[in-house]
A and B are shown apart, each in its own frame.
Chain A
Amino acid sequence: MFGYAGRILRVELSAEKVRTEPLSEAVARTYIGGLGLGARILFDEVSASTDPLSPANKLIVALGPVNGTGVPASSRFAVVFKSPLTRIFGHSYCGGYFAPELKYAGYDAVVVEGVAKSPVYLSILDDDVKIRDAGKVWGRDTFETEDIIRSDLGEPDAQVLCIGPAGENLVRFASLNHSRGRQAGRCGAGAVMGSKRLKAIAVRGTGGLEVPDIEKLERAAEEWRIYMISKLTSLIRYGTPAMTGASNSHGALPTRYWETGTFEGAEKIGGERMRGSIVRRDRSCFSCPVRCGKMSYLATGPFAETVVEGPEYETLYALGSLCGNDDLASIAKANDLCDRLGLDTMTTGNVLAFAMACTERGILTTQDTGRAFRFGDGEAMVEMVKRIAKREGFGDVLAEGVKWAAEKIGHGAERLAVHVKGLEPAAYEPRALWGMALAYATSDRGACHLRAPAYRPAYAGVVEKQSVKGQPELVKELQDTNAVVDSMVLCRFSALPLLGPFSFWDHLARAYSLTTGVGVDERDLRLVGERIYSLTRSFNVRQGLRRRDDMIPERWIKDPLATGVSQGKVVPEAEFNQMLDRYYELRGWDEDGVPKPEKFRELGLEGAVK
């Protein structure tokens, strides 16, 4: 089959061994690659009792058929693992230049298991794969690590994926980092890598990739690029920060730790302000014409000389509105620290805002946190980021994530804590957007916006914002679609639903067929999407998760939004349950959220899932 390298690299750190195995064509056809491939391996090889930070957990970097081709925005790879933050199925994605390089080196996936005796890094120079001493880089930040490894290998073109001090210190939301500002941020893959004493994976590939008819693919790619450039003008100009104003105008920009959906300082941290003040240039991932990455520079102030790729929308929310912070400079500085130290900005912002909310309510005092820690205090925020990465003082408590930190803090902190299954939510307030309540509740990795970006149709007026009507159907459709997108592996921005004349499934089917040479249609791909979603669900069911775990935080049900256009809104419990019932029905899962045997048969999963 075209589009694949045809090999999986297995790395056994305890035994200090590496080997390759062929990628089974049957598995590739059934799960595509990326998320699907990673989910299949993780389900088969990591058990319900495996501690995510133990040697038995696996870290799977997985590619799909489009990676390395000219299909626009095909730079992303999936990382699949059992999450130390949520203890359930974990996956995360990262753009940049790593995925194509790995494909050109001749691998569709790297599966790492075990634990090294002392810190190591993995070098992959085509067929030459070595586990190397990482003494020089252990303790270093992610920017230094990339540079040192390149020079250590004498390979200036090598692409590096690494962890920072946060991953080494097993911060539960540590990220994987690449190319100074690209992260697989969510769910704590960095802590898994840290627990294995694996500092980095460096890769250089010279082999290239063949497709069935390159001229045909090049013509299609040009058509897609022209289309993307014409449709994604706002992303091109402002990057994701363009969303700040949109979300705020819908009363859906989470503010002061889930108190309201309207932030009075939204304009100060919005896309236009950024573009007009700190953004210096645009940066793109491999193969993408959109250049949503915005390189920012702080010329003056306490954080002068900071250079950072971003902040992007989720970071502006997490370190901005959620912390009641309208100071772009401190957001940019904290963003830079997260990138260098290797932290997910989204969970980081949530734990910081959570601590601020606890302080405002008297649950935490200055004695606990080490210094005054009020909403809007950007400098305190920046200092605490460093302490989280080092697990120093109160940073050690916050390094556990909101759910566990709340348990440690006690005194009513648990009721304040906002998360689903232990993952802190993204920048879309579900009380203003009921579809997002269901999306967060049923995402296989916890409160995540990327499985079902149900906010987009709500902003566009395709579904009503506060209504159950059509939401379960929409959420399922988006989850299935994105399971395929994440298995291809494509960026969301190449494939935003509702883009217009391209039928979305047609686009995916065409990209798949042009890269693999295997003809598929919408029906085939829908089945794959549903199969993957039921497989990841089964992983979580095996962990003991049921309907009760699909519940949303009590505050979203009982505490009305305090101000703004969504003032007074909640997600009523009855309506939420109505959406969940309908969703399970659509999925062929029983009323407790467990996939039914007949559904397994239909999806071709019965042999795999007991």
Chain B
Amino acid sequence: MLELAVFPEKCVGCRLCELACSAAHEGKYNPKLSRIRVVTVHPVSDIPVVCVHCKKPRCLEVCPSEAIRWDKDLGIAKVDGSICVGCSTCVRECPFEAMVLHPAKNVAIKCELCGGKPKCVAACPTGALVYAEPATIDSMRKQEYAARATKGVEESVLRK
């Protein structure tokens, strides 16, 4: 099963992920309704925040309407918008602040991996977002830190 991974040290803060996400799911450009958002921590970093797709999702546990269901194919929790009543329990309980309430539709929204082809990953110009097998991600992260340690921050950041 593929996983979405974030390499915040490679993020340059361009918000192309937010634009791509809102374009795909809202039919317009609106980063405020993006399922992924980039938080700037000056001057050190920009950090993409997105659902980490917990194996035992807190959102699913706490939902009083049972609107959050487990999707076996993708191995993630998904919100059923036709059941969600917009109570925001999941938004409050998510340990990663990765869920928001859609202001117009009054339902909780979260990253659902675009059905297995995440648009944000395709739009990311630096490799800060990766969609791959866990073993591959693990190896990439090891390589990334090894490169930072031996070749310097510069070289590692430049490698996509």
Partners in one complex: yes
A interface residues, Cβ below 8 angstroms from B:
68-70, 97, 100, 104, 157, 180, 205-211, 214-215, 217-218, 222, 225, 229, 237, 275-276, 279-289, 291, 293, 295, 307, 309
B153 within 8 A of A: yes
Beyond A206-B103, A208-B26, A215-B23, 9 extra complex contacts between A and B, CB < 8 Å: A97-B15, A205-B32, A208-B32, A211-B29, A275-B154, A281-B9, A281-B12, A282-B12, A286-B14
Cβ-neighbour of B14 out of A69, A209, A217, A288 (below 8 A): A288
> B158 CB to closest chain A CB, in angstroms?
7
Considering the chains assembled together, what is the distance between the CA atoms of A289 and B122 in angstroms? 12
Find chain B residues with CB under 8 A from A217 CB. Answer: 23
Q: Are B28 and A210 in contact (CB under 8 A)?
A: yes
Q: Are A285 and B42 in contact (CB under 8 A)?
A: no
Known contacts A218-B20, A275-B154, A289-B14; decide if A69 and B126 are in contact (CB<8 Å): no
> B98 CB to closest chain A CB, in angstroms?
16
Which parts of B28-68 form the interface with A (CB within 8 Å)? 28-33, 42-43, 45-46
Find chain A residues with CB under 8 A from B28 CB. Answer: 208-211, 214
B147 within 8 A of A: no
> A465 CB to closest chain B CB, in angstroms?
33
Find chain A residues with CB under 8 A from B154 CB. Answer: 275-276, 279
Q: Are A291 and B12 in contact (CB under 8 A)?
A: yes
Q: Are B29 and A229 in contact (CB under 8 A)?
A: no
Q: Are B30 and A287 in contact (CB under 8 A)?
A: no
Q: Are A180 and B32 in contact (CB under 8 A)?
A: no
Find chain B residues with CB under 8 A from A222 CB. Answer: 122-123
- Closest residue of chain A to B160 (Cβ to Cβ) is A229
Interface size of B by CB at 8 A reads 32
B27 within 8 A of A: yes
Q: Are B15 and A286 in contact (CB under 8 A)?
A: yes
Q: Are B12 and A208 in contact (CB under 8 A)?
A: no
Interface centre among B27, B29, B123, B125 (most CB of A within 10 A): B29
Q: Are B33 and A208 in contact (CB under 8 A)?
A: yes
> B82 CB to closest chain A CB, in angstroms?
23
- Closest residue of chain A to B122 (Cβ to Cβ) is A222
> B17 CB to closest chain A CB, in angstroms?
11
Q: Are A209 and B30 in contact (CB under 8 A)?
A: yes
Find chain B residues with CB under 8 A from A211 CB. Answer: 28-29
Find chain A residues with CB under 8 A from B85 CB. Answer: none
Find chain B residues with CB under 8 A from A281 CB. Answer: 9, 12, 45, 153, 157
Q: Are A307 and B43 in contact (CB under 8 A)?
A: yes
- Closest residue of chain B to A180 (Cβ to Cβ) is B42
Known contacts A289-B14, A291-B12, A307-B43; decide if A206 and B32 are in contact (CB<8 Å): yes
Find chain B residues with CB under 8 A from A215 CB. Answer: 23
- Closest residue of chain B to A225 (Cβ to Cβ) is B125
Find chain A residues with CB under 8 A from B126 CB. Answer: 282, 291
Considering the chains assembled together, what is the distance between the CA atoms of A223 and B157 in angstroms? 23
Q: Are A70 and B19 in contact (CB under 8 A)?
A: yes
Find chain B residues with CB under 8 A from A279 CB. Answer: 154
- Closest residue of chain A to B19 (Cβ to Cβ) is A70
> B119 CB to closest chain A CB, in angstroms?
8
Considering the chains assembled together, what is the distance between the CA atoms of A276 and B153 in angstroms? 10
Known contacts A70-B23, A229-B125, A282-B157; decide if A104 and B30 are in contact (CB<8 Å): yes
Interface centre among A237, A287, A293 (most CB of B within 10 A): A287
Contact pattern, B 87-125, Cβ under 8 Å of A = 1, otherwise 0: 000000000000000010000000000000000001101
Cβ-neighbour of A206 out of B29, B30, B43, B157 (below 8 A): B30
- Closest residue of chain B to A276 (Cβ to Cβ) is B154
- Closest residue of chain A to B124 (Cβ to Cβ) is A289
Contact pattern, B 136-160, Cβ under 8 Å of A = 1, otherwise 0: 0000000000000000011001100
Q: Are A104 and B42 in contact (CB under 8 A)?
A: no
A-B CB contact pairs (8 Å), 30 listed: A100-B29, A104-B31, A157-B32, A206-B32, A207-B30, A208-B22, A208-B26, A208-B30, A208-B33, A209-B30, A210-B28, A210-B29, A211-B28, A214-B27, A215-B23, A218-B20, A222-B123, A225-B16, A237-B158, A276-B154, A281-B9, A281-B45, A281-B157, A284-B12, A284-B13, A284-B14, A286-B14, A287-B15, A289-B16, A291-B12
Considering the chains assembled together, what is the distance between the CA atoms of A206 and B32 in angstroms? 6
Considering the chains assembled together, what is the distance between the CA atoms of A284 and B14 in angstroms? 5
Find chain B residues with CB under 8 A from A288 CB. Answer: 14
> A239 CB to closest chain B CB, in angstroms?
12
Give the top 8 A-B pairs by smallest Cβ distance, nearest first: A208-B30, A289-B125, A284-B14, A284-B12, A291-B12, A210-B28, A206-B32, A70-B19
> B32 CB to closest chain A CB, in angstroms?
5
Q: Are A287 and B16 in contact (CB under 8 A)?
A: yes
Known contacts A208-B30, A208-B33, A209-B29; decide if A287 and B23 are in contact (CB<8 Å): no
> A424 CB to closest chain B CB, in angstroms?
29
Find chain A residues with CB under 8 A from B42 CB. Answer: 180
Find chain B residues with CB under 8 A from A180 CB. Answer: 42-43
> B153 CB to closest chain A CB, in angstroms?
6
Considering the chains assembled together, what is the distance between the CA atoms of A180 and B154 in angstroms? 22
Known contacts A237-B158, A287-B15; decide if A280 and B153 are in contact (CB<8 Å): yes
Find chain B residues with CB under 8 A from A209 CB. Answer: 28-30
Find chain A residues with CB under 8 A from B16 CB. Answer: 70, 225, 287, 289
> A569 CB to closest chain B CB, in angstroms?
37
Find chain A residues with CB under 8 A from B13 CB. Answer: 283-284
Considering the chains assembled together, what is the distance between the CA atoms of A485 and B72 in angstroms? 49
> A494 CB to closest chain B CB, in angstroms?
12
- Closest residue of chain B to A214 (Cβ to Cβ) is B23
Considering the chains assembled together, what is the distance between the CA atoms of A229 and B103 in angstroms? 36
Considering the chains assembled together, what is the distance between the CA atoms of A320 and B35 in angstroms? 44
- Closest residue of chain A to B126 (Cβ to Cβ) is A291
Considering the chains assembled together, what is the distance between the CA atoms of A136 and B46 in angstroms? 28
- Closest residue of chain B to A218 (Cβ to Cβ) is B23
Q: Are A70 and B43 in contact (CB under 8 A)?
A: no
Considering the chains assembled together, what is the distance between the CA atoms of A275 and B158 in angstroms? 11
Find chain A residues with CB under 8 A from B15 CB. Answer: 97, 286-287
> B52 CB to closest chain A CB, in angstroms?
21
Find chain B residues with CB under 8 A from A237 CB. Answer: 158
Interface centre among B30, B46, B158 (most CB of A within 10 A): B30
Find chain A residues with CB under 8 A from B122 CB. Answer: 222
Q: Are B23 and A104 in contact (CB under 8 A)?
A: no
Known contacts A214-B23, A281-B157, A287-B19; decide if A104 and B14 are in contact (CB<8 Å): no
